[in-house]
Every structure is written in structure tokens, then in C-alpha cells.
Amino acid sequence: MQASSSAAAPLTDPFGRTVSYLRVSVTDRCDLRCVYCMAEDMTFLPKKDILTLEEIDRLCGAFIALGTDKIRLTGGEPLVRKGVMTLVQTLGARIGAGGLRELTVTTNGTQLTKMAGELYAAGVRRINVSMDTLDPATFAAVTRWGKLEQTMDGIFAAKAAGLAVKINAVALKGVNEDEFDRMVAWCGEHGFDLCLIETMPMGEIGEDRTDQYLPLSLVRSRLRQSWTLEESDYRTGGPARYVTVKETGRRIGFITPMTHNFCESCNRVRLTCTGTLYMCLGQDDAAEFRSLLRDPSVDEAGLAQAIRDAIARKPKGHDFVIDRRRNRPAVARHMSLTGG
Ligand code: SAM
Ligand code: SF4
């Protein structure tokens, strides 16, 4: 009903950045326990604290009415949430003129053999699949509970369904650091882009972060010894900086929150599965939407105003540091709550 407000005033933050991209964590749960993301004995949130799929859809609709044209579903593992495909379908129905330009998903791939076709049918065209290694034993060690074969089967099911796949890999010192040449070649062979991610200090995970941190500047200079990396001005509005690998024609993105500041072009905000909107991945300031969504006196106009008020508080940037002295994360919440 509020469609008129979208044409009138897009969501713009105090630094002139237009916010058009919403990342939505649909669950904090996951069927894996990646070492950089979760402790093995995670306690998950009670169901009553989690937004229903209808509440998520309503809030997404309010963002879309204010000009949001890209939504990414993430988690936790978004595809293990019961009934998630109904949300994908209702959001998919919002793709088109005046609505969403793109609906995407970030997944660990375990459910893709079952769900890739349905994702495509709902309007999803690109997905990110996290796979940090091509080695089955390393994969089992990094994900604790995962099987490489299951994720690989998922990736190929996605490709067969017509989805463009980007592989996400977190760079981990002493774990997968000698594998990137092979991964670049493998992605080239199968037609996937690759995104390398530096570890971010988010949430207590029961391990020493400084042991895992591998600067991508180092990875990049090592890759240059085997590949011709051509600078690219390709941008997704996100923190990744891209190069094109001349030999394969595929892109490699580098997400470097620790060594490089990507905040100046930030166009995104993040919604947790409990309805908390974080205006910046690296800052604690947040706006609560769950109580508004559950308050019968708050109508669509009220929701729209609350979104505008939140965006007006979007900070200029983040300040990630691995606190070596106290070995504490810079941001206490887990990535699985905010979504990667
Ligand atoms: N479960 C899905 C997956 O693994 O793709 C979606 C959620 S996961 C939190 C999203 C992305 O965040 C993944 O690519 C994951 O590797 C990355 N990630 C998780 N914890 C991280 C951390 N501490 N530092 C950097 N990236 C992290
Ligand atoms: Fe699960 Fe994704 Fe976190 Fe791994 S990175 S534990 S797959 S949410």
C-alpha cells in the first residue's frame, strides 16, 4: 500500500549512500559447524524469538517498497529452515519492475541436490556456495560435520539447474592456504567464480583467531606466480574487489575486511533471524523490528518509518581488529546470526 513512497525517496544514509541491498539471516541453525563460524556446542535461539517466514516476508516487502532491489537469504544455513522454500517463492514473486532485481542465496550446499531446481523455478539465478577446500579430509576438519561429496553434488546440481554459482572460500592459515591454485583451476574448469574471504573476528568460537588469520594480500601475490590476474572494475556493491583470471576467464573476488576498508561504497544492511537490523556488519548499533512486526498497532507506514529511522543511523564504517592481547572477537555476535 506504501508503493508511492518508494518512488519518492530511496533509502539514503547520512553519508549519501543509497541502501538497496538487504541480507536476511533466516535461521541461526546449521547442519555444519565450520571452525571459524561456530563453536561445536552452539546453543541456538528459541523458536519464539525467531521471525516467522510471514514476518520476514512482510519486512522484506517494506524494504522493497522503499527501493531495496536485491535480497540475499543467508544464515545459519538458510536451506535447513523448515518451509524456507515458501519464503523463496513469495520473495521470488516480487522480482520484476518496481520490485526486486535479484534474489540470491548463500548456502553451504548440503541441501542443493534437493532444492536447486525449486530455487531456479522461484526466480533465483545466482547462488554462493561455501566450500573452503577440495580435499575431503580438510573439508571434514573445517566443517566438523560436513562431507565434501555432499556439497560438491549440491554445486553440480545447482549448475545443472541453471544457477550461476560462486564458490566462497575462507582463507585459513595452515589449512587451505596451499590449495588456492587448484581451486582457481577447478573453478575455471567448471565455470564458477571464486570469492576468497579473510576471517572476520565475529563471535566466540573456542579457537584462537590469530592462528587462522591469513591476509589475502599474501594469497593474491602467491596466485600471481601461476595466473595472470587482470584488474577488474566489476563490483557487486559489496566488499569484494575482483580480478579476472586471464587463463580461465573467471573472476576471483577478494573480501578483505581486515586489510582494506570497503565501507565507502556500502549499500547494504543485515537483518538477523530475530528481527534485529544491523546497519553495519562490524558495529553493534542495531534497530529492533520483531516487536514492531508483532504489534498490531504498527501498520505499513509505521514499519516504513522505522526502516527510515534505522538507515538514518547507519555508521560510516567498521573497525574490525583481532584483539590479540585478550583474544576476544571485535564483534560478539556470531556470523551465523547476522549472516555472512
Ligand atoms: N551457511 C551458509 C554458508 O556457509 O554459506 C550461509 C551463512 S555463512 C555465515 C556465510 C558466509 O560467511 C560463508 O561463506 C562463511 O564461510 C562465511 N563466514 C562465516 N564465519 C566467518 C568468519 N568468522 N570470517 C569470515 N567469513 C566467515
Ligand atoms: Fe554453517 Fe555456514 Fe557457519 Fe559453516 S559458515 S557453520 S555452513 S553457517
Strands 193-197 and 251-255, how do they pair? parallel
CB of 272 shorter than 6 A to ligand 1: no
Q: What's the CA-to-centroid distance between 265 and ligand 1, angstroms?
A: 21
pLDDT mean over 51-65: 98
In sequence order, what E strands does 171-310 have? 193-197, 229-231, 240-245, 251-255, 268-271, 276-278, 286-288
Statement: residue 4 has pLDDT above 50: no
What pTM does this model have?
0.91
* Domain, as residue range, for 79: 5-338
Model confidence at 208, pLDDT cuts 50, 70, 90, reads low
In this prediction, what percent of the chain has a pLDDT beyond 70? 85
pLDDT mean over 243-267: 83
CB of 119 shorter than 6 A to ligand 2: no
Statement: residue 62 has pLDDT above 60: yes
pLDDT for the residue 281: 73
Task: Enter the C-alpha cell of residue 326.
Answer: 585478550
What distance in Å separates the CA atoms of residue 188 and residue 248, rounded to the nearest whole number? 5
Check which CATH number belongs to the domain holding 169 and give it. 3.20.20.70
Closest CA to 104 of 315, 340, 309, 286: 340
Cα–Cα distances (Å) from 263 to 128, 256, 267, 288, in that order, read 21, 11, 9, 23
6 or 133, which is more confident?
133
pLDDT tens sequence across 141-171: 999 999 999 999 999 999 999 999 999 999 9
Q: Among the bound ligands, name the one nearest to the CA of residue 203.
A: 1
Q: What's the CA-to-centroid distance between 153 and ligand 2, angstroms?
A: 18
What distance in Å separates the CA atoms of residue 39 and residue 25, rounded to the nearest whole number? 18
pLDDT mean over 175-202: 93
- Among 2-11, 111-120, 235-244, name the one with the lowest average pLDDT: 2-11
What's the domain count of the chain?
1
pLDDT mean over 69-91: 97
Q: Identify the residue whose C-alpha is closest to ligand 1 atom 12.
A: 340
Task: Enter the C-alpha cell of residue 198.
Answer: 579473510
5 or 277, which is more confident?
277
CB of 34 shorter than 6 A to ligand 2: yes
Task: Enter the C-alpha cell of residue 89.
Answer: 517463492
pLDDT for the residue 1: 40
Q: How many CB atoms lie within 10 A of CB 63?
A: 26
pLDDT for the residue 9: 76
pLDDT for the residue 2: 41
pLDDT for the residue 115: 98
pLDDT for the residue 326: 47
Closest CA to 27 of 89, 81, 108: 81
pLDDT for the residue 262: 64
Model confidence at 317, pLDDT cuts 50, 70, 90, reads confident
pLDDT for the residue 245: 98
pLDDT for the residue 173: 93
- Among 86-100, 126-140, 271-285, 286-300, name the one with the lowest average pLDDT: 271-285
pLDDT for the residue 332: 59
pLDDT for the residue 118: 98
For the chain, state the CA radius of gyration.
Answer: 19
Statement: residue 235 has pLDDT above 70: yes
Q: Identify the residue whose C-alpha is closest to ligand 1 atom 7.
A: 75
What distance in Å separates the CA atoms of residue 325 and residue 139, rounded to the nearest whole number? 30
The chain-wide mean pLDDT, for the chain, equals 89
pLDDT for the residue 334: 62
pLDDT tens sequence across 23-47: 999 999 999 999 999 999 989 999 9
Statement: residue 110 has pLDDT above 90: yes
Residue 104 annotated as binding? no
Statement: residue 125 has pLDDT above 60: yes
Closest CA to 115 of 105, 103, 101: 105
CB of 30 shorter than 6 A to ligand 1: yes
What distance in Å separates the CA atoms of residue 261 and residue 215, rounded to the nearest whole number? 14
